[in-house]
Structure 1
Amino acid sequence: MVTTVLVDPQSEAVVLPAELVALVARQAVNEGPTRAAWPGLTFYRFEQRVGTHWDKVSSVSLGMVVQGRKRVRAGSINYFYDPFHYLVMKRELRFQAEILQAAPERPFLSFVLQLQPELVNEVYDEMNRLVPDILHIEPTPPTPDVYVMALDQPLVGAVQRFLLALESEPERGVLASTYLREIAYRLLRSEQRVWLLESAARENHGNVITAAIAFMKQEMHHPLSVRDLA
């Protein structure tokens, strides 16, 4: 059975700034994906609807559509997102995608930003140290592979500052990482912070195991200690 996840339309109160739409449009220069200079950031432009196709993310990723509408299907669940909602996906997730709204005069525009687990955990630790009460976490049921949330102004502002900083080499070097931390902070303030923390923890654990296996293969002809693998 296919399930569709919809977010309360009453929450669709945030209107994306025209400058944010323009920022994405300037970066999404090609039909289809355009990889940015910033690691893990990809912009998308489609000038016509695109049927269902397979795609994959290699890390926990934030997806935002600034123009148009998109459907993502993970397993048997359909998720829809648009300029009123953002989407976050788990690491190594293979999913189906469909571009629902796009035209030459009004192309579909979006981006996907990978969030490294080290960054998420680092921001969480800092938040927990400074203001532990805001991160009080209630027990939750098993989390899905994807979640969709209504956009809020603080997250939109952080994203806009981050993308704007990427257009200037000095700001990209000095400020972009700060705004990326703010994006992680805003996501960790959301109702889905448990989901994000669990996903980051699993990815971090997987990265450690992968690194250990690679090290063992490289050093297989030499004796190894536990300290070597730690």
Structure 2
Amino acid sequence: MLKNRYFLLILSMVLFFSVFWFTQNLEYLKFPKNTELVLFMNGSLYGYASIKSLCLMLVFPYLIFLLLFSKKERIVSLVREKNRIQAHHKIVKSTIIATVLYVGIYLSVNLIFSFLFLGNKLLTATNFYSGILFYLLLLFLFYLTIGFLFRIIYDITASIGQALIFGAFAMCLFYLIDWIILEGLYWTPLHTLNFFDLWLQNGPMISEIPYVLIPNVATALILYLLSSNIFIKKDFYSYEK
């Protein structure tokens, strides 16, 4: 029964991302097939891989996927855990697996349809394959950070609904502050999300990888530690499940 639920959940995400891919790229499919088309379809400003899509359109589906993928927590089971850190590690493990699946499905859909409509020659010429491997790691860290933020809000509010709403709202607010108020002039973690676009334009940027990954790893680590601390100290008996 559990395997069937996971299968249906993964299948639903494949269908969701497939529809999303076509809605974002339908107009581009009429363009001549060249390297510029690859850049248009994978640009950071518009389309399937845009920063706007990642921050505004795909955060809430990720949180829903994370929620449905994770096992329902029961107070009795959590209280019986001899070590709350171990209980938190189980939650983190589930979050990591769900994030890998979500990002993996998202990029697999892009890879498959890009291969079908653009062809191997164009993808190879733009270093698409090597870029998408690095992009997998980058997006994993990005959404893992959001997953930890969701957990923090949930442990503070004891409400799944509030955690979903405030988690998605926080990312929308962060995006709006970054691009409208700060006008993209000052560095924020969101700026690293355009690295796939730059990779396709300029070729492999191996020397820049540490500068892109380290801030994202640091952000995820900070939220993980904060989430762990809040989880360990929270009063389970005051929570309604």
Range into which the TM-score falls when normalised by the shorter chain: under 0.3
Which TM-score applies when normalising by structure 2? Answer: 0.24
Q: Write 1 or 2 for the structure with the bigger share of helix.
A: 2
Q: Write 1 or 2 for the structure with the bigger share of strand.
A: 1
Which TM-score applies when normalising by structure 1? Answer: 0.25
